[in-house]
Structure 1
Amino acid sequence: MRVLVTGGAGFIGSHVVEGLLGGGHEVAVVDDLSSGKQESVAEGAEFFRGDVRDGCGEVFREFRPEAVVHHAAQIDVRRSVAEPDFDAEVNVLGTLRLLENCLKSGTKRFVFASTGGAIYGEQDLFPADEGHPQRPISPYGVSKLTGEKYLHYYAVQHGLRYAALRYANVYGPRQDPHGEAGVVAIFCGRLARGERATINGDGEQTRDYVYVGDVARANVLAVEGDAPSGAYNIGTGRETSVNELYRLLCEKAGRDLPPRHGPGKPGEQLRSCIDPALAGRTLGWRPETDLASGLKETLRYFGAL
């Protein structure tokens, strides 16, 4: 199958590209390299430098994808609050223009990188399944939910098959420890340099950490499978506190570097955890990498082992 991966030079997207190539698919990548790195694109994938805000029409005309895996996005929650118009331009209009080009080029399948925590907001139930109330509290969460609603429209009106993959907190090799990055990458970078990390608040806030290799496999299954169109949680269903996460990383790295504690972030979710059971029943996907093993691989990538 010919698969176009937007954001395929980025952290998650580059792993998805590798998974698709390993499955024998023909892959093209489009990325503006604002955060991705061209050297992260696996050999064998065709690379186009471009911006999803223009819909990537030239790439569609040249490559004629049968499926699109859409990871290019504005992912900085803080920037979405400061610049909601920019967030919407990238995440809403960019997605919409890609969908319009799917219609024009005859693309039949669309896999969308969505979010679990930011869509559900403060949870009523733990872990949250896909039927949990959707109460985003940031423009980023609103934009991802809007993308899902557009996907439903295109499925009903135009027959486009889609999977919106609602990710938990993805971590693993190639994650950028600078800027709006996952806490695992930040901690690993500090441990590699022999520096103590700062934990916001008391550190008892929890997240569901899912390994990037497992996330890439979910994307491949969504491209190849025949699951009904809809949203699927991609997480582990297990909560881990920031304190416990840091303790595990120090233990694996053999470092004795007690953390500092700084002020908590205003509005930060206290708990976030999503239920992946539906993905297991429909996509045939389950997380295979336990947290200890995934952290070890991540530490090795950052040179902390």
Structure 2
Amino acid sequence: MSVSNNSRRIVLLGGAGFMGRALSIRLRDRGYDVHVLTRSITMNTPDGVTVHGGGIENSELIRRLIPQSSTVVHMASATTPSLSSKSPSLEANLNIAPMLGLLEELQQHPQVRLIYISSGGTVYGNPKQELVSESAELKPLSFYGAGKVAAEGFLQCFQRASGSPIIILRPSNVYGPGQPRYQGFGVIRTMLQHMLDHSPMTIWGDGSVIRDFIYIDDVVSAIECVLGDKDASGIFNLGSGVGHSLNDLKNIIEEVCADTLSVHYESTRTIDVQRIVLDTQKMQQCFDWTLTTSLREGIKKTWEWLCLRKHQRN
């Protein structure tokens, strides 16, 4: 049952997306008054969640909702690494500029907290460390990653100027049931779809690149932990702390699905990070957060969801 007071009202920017929908359902179940902003007003609205047709650039809607809320969770992103690779201005126009408008409104309401979802998979580039902590140098390889770094810079300036608490979360590669398929984004979702369709998949490089994968429920529980600490601020990695190559991932998926995935390899792209595994000790120590879903278990749950969805559509 929703609680309709400002201390429990949460605004989710980009809340109709993969992460936003999972988070909105969890927060609703915890008794929060959840308000979702989305350009996609045709979304299948979870019961007990209020959906507003409009994006972060809708200044009138932002001005109306912010004063009535305790926390804003900013998950909105209108780009992917491949989308802005040839059009870097998309990062400024579609992501940075609307966020600056949000900060202008938040200046008037210092009591409202902001949680920003950045990208632990892109902001560090190709780090030298085996496990990458939040203090590592930010050296993004893509315009998408550079956009996240720029956004973080503006947020930290805002925090120093206003004194308002800002939390920046840097998740690694998030996957799980409910994830839509995007071109060049979400490798687990993409591999499973190719397995389902019995179609060949392209891997850029030789498959040796290493990624850190985190299941959607673990990301949601991390955000919930942060929401429970009203004094929290800072930057926190979210990941598994374990790296898997794309070839490892292919093997696990073939074992889970009991089938063979057809793959062909293409030349490595310059925007692709070669190795990234996140150190999550800070998140664990500050919020007593722990990972609960292994990669194999998460892939199995995602595969079962995809198969069920296909069965329901047939």
TM-score of the superposed pair, with normalisation by structure 1: 0.92
Map 1:243-262; keep pairs closer than 5 Å: 243-262=247-266
Q: Name the structure 1 match of 2:132.
A: 128
RMSD, matched Cα:
2.0
Letter in 1 for 2:273: Q
User: Is 2:44 the partner of 1:20?
Assistant: no
User: Is 2:55 the partner of 1:51?
Assistant: yes
The alpha carbon displacement at 1:226 in A equals 3.9
> Which residue of the other structure, out of 39, 54, 70, is the alignment partner of 2:74?
70
For residues 37 and 221 of structure 1, do their structure 2 counterparts lie closer, same or farther at Cα, with a shift above 3 Å needed? farther
Q: Name the structure 1 match of 2:189.
A: 185
Q: Name the structure 2 match of 1:167.
A: 171
Identity of aligned residues (%): 27
In structure 1, runs of 5+ residues without a counterpart are: none
For residues 178 and 136 of structure 1, do their structure 2 counterparts lie closer, same or farther at Cα, with a shift above 3 Å needed? closer
Letter in 1 for 2:18: F
Q: Name the structure 2 match of 1:92.
A: 96
In structure 2, runs of 5+ residues without a counterpart are: 1-7
Superposed structure 1 runs of 4+ greater than 6 Å apart? none
Letter in 1 for 2:168: A
Letter in 1 for 2:123: I
Structure 2 contact 13–76 (Cα < 8 Å) conserved: yes
Structure 1 contact 68–107 (Cα < 8 Å) conserved: no
Structure 2 contact 81–271 (Cα < 8 Å) conserved: no
The alpha carbon displacement at 1:284 in A equals 2.1
For residues 138 and 194 of structure 1, do their structure 2 counterparts lie closer, same or farther at Cα, with a shift above 3 Å needed? closer
| Residues paired across the two proteins, number | 301
After superposition, give the CA deviation of every residue in 1:171-230 in whole Å (9 maximum; x if it has no partner).
111212232420101111111122343322211111000001111111111222145421
> Which residue of the other structure, out of 27, 30, 54, is the alignment partner of 2:37?
30
Cα distance in 2 for residues equivalent to 1:112 and 1:37: 25
Cα distance in 2 for residues equivalent to 1:224 and 1:97: 27
The alpha carbon displacement at 1:44 in A equals 0.9
Q: Name the structure 1 match of 2:84.
A: 80
> Which residue of the other structure, out of 61, 64, 69, is the alignment partner of 2:64?
61
Map 1:215-234; keep pairs closer than 5 Å: 215-226=219-230, 228-234=232-238
The alpha carbon displacement at 1:258 in A equals 4.4
For residues 203 and 120 of structure 1, do their structure 2 counterparts lie closer, same or farther at Cα, with a shift above 3 Å needed? same
Letter in 1 for 2:64: R
For residues 227 and 141 of structure 1, do their structure 2 counterparts lie closer, same or farther at Cα, with a shift above 3 Å needed? farther
The alpha carbon displacement at 1:68 in A equals 0.2
> Which residue of the other structure, out of 162, 169, 194, is the alignment partner of 1:158?
162
Most deviating of 109-118 and 217-226: 217-226
The alpha carbon displacement at 1:107 in A equals 4.6
Letter in 2 for 1:195: S
Structure 2 contact 122–273 (Cα < 8 Å) conserved: no
